[in-house]
């Protein structure tokens, strides 16, 4: 666990999240500033700042969970498309220095940009979607 890492605090249960899936190595929870409804983050439990430092095991476990969650998001929301996205460094708009993958549902012609502004979502809607997606994880 890294001091002052918000995602480490979520792993430790020190701050809450809308969890959709967890296993021994990873945790998946709703992004509270969703680009679109159903935007989920997948993280390894262990702290690594970025793709350059994450272990082979942790990135493999994160990718496995991301695909599992992506299937659940697709089953729940039937988006037009989906990005699995991972950011490293300031220019790439990485804002949390704990390796993570975005599972990002897309709408046709939504013009979503790679560096999107963080805008808080509706927490009731996010919570309700987290339950629906969690139920759809196989
Ligand atoms: P990145 O820009 O790739 O570092 O993405 C970090 C993401 O973490 C952003 O999309 C934020 O909205 C999201 N985020 C930050 N804090 C929290 C939190 N406490 N719970 C859920 N998502 C968060």
Ligand 1 mean position, distance from CA 95 (Å)? 7
Distance CA(58)–CA(109), nearest Å, equals 34
Distance CA(51)–CA(57), nearest Å, equals 12
The rounded mean pLDDT for the chain is 97
Is pLDDT at 3 greater than 90 in this prediction? no
Q: Is the Cβ–Cβ distance between 92 and 100 less than 8 Å?
A: no
Distance CA(60)–CA(67), nearest Å, equals 11
- Digit-coded pLDDT (tens) for 78-133: 999 999 999 999 999 999 999 999 999 999 999 999 999 999 999 999 999 999 99
The verdict on the CB of residue 95 being under 6 Å from ligand 1 is: yes
Q: Annotated catalytic, 47?
A: no
103 contacts: CB under 8 Å, gap ≥ 6: 28, 38, 39, 40, 41, 42, 66, 69, 70, 73, 82, 84
pLDDT at 75: 98
Q: Kindly indicate the confidence band of residue 2, based on its pLDDT and cuts at 50, 70 and 90.
A: confident
Is pLDDT at 13 greater than 90 in this prediction? yes
Q: Is the Cβ–Cβ distance between 39 and 30 less than 8 Å?
A: yes
Distance CA(102)–CA(73), nearest Å, equals 12
Q: What is the mean pLDDT of residues 62-69?
A: 98
Q: What is the mean pLDDT of residues 35-49?
A: 98
pLDDT at 119: 94
> Which two three-digit tokens encode residue 11?
């792993």
Ligand 1 mean position, distance from CA 80 (Å)? 23
pLDDT at 61: 98
Q: CA nearest 129: which of 75, 76, 66?
A: 76
CA distances from 135 to 9, 71, 76, 102, 130 (A): 25, 12, 9, 19, 9
Q: What is the mean pLDDT of residues 17-41?
A: 98
The verdict on the CB of residue 118 being under 6 Å from ligand 1 is: yes
According to DSSP, the residues that pair with 43 across neighbouring strands are 27
Which domains, ranges and CATH numbers included, belong to the chain? 6-112 (3.30.428.10)
pLDDT at 15: 96
């Amino acid at each position: 666990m890294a001091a002052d890492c918000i995602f480490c605090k979520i792993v430790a249960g020190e701050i809450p999240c809308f969890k959709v899936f967890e296993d021994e190595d990873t945790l998946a929870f709703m992004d509270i500033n969703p680009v679109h409804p159903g935007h989920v983050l997948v993280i390894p439990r262990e702290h690594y700042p970025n793709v350059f430092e994450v272990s082979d095991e942790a990135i493999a476990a994160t990718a496995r969970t991301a695909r599992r969650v992506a299937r659940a998001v697709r089953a729940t929301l039937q988006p037009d498309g989906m990005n699995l996205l991972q950011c490293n460094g300031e220019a790439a708009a990485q804002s949390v220095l704990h390796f993570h993958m975005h599972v990002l549902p897309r709408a046709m012609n939504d013009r979503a940009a790679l560096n999107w502004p963080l805008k808080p979502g509706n927490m009731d809607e996010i919570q309700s979607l987290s339950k629906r997606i969690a139920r759809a994880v196989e």
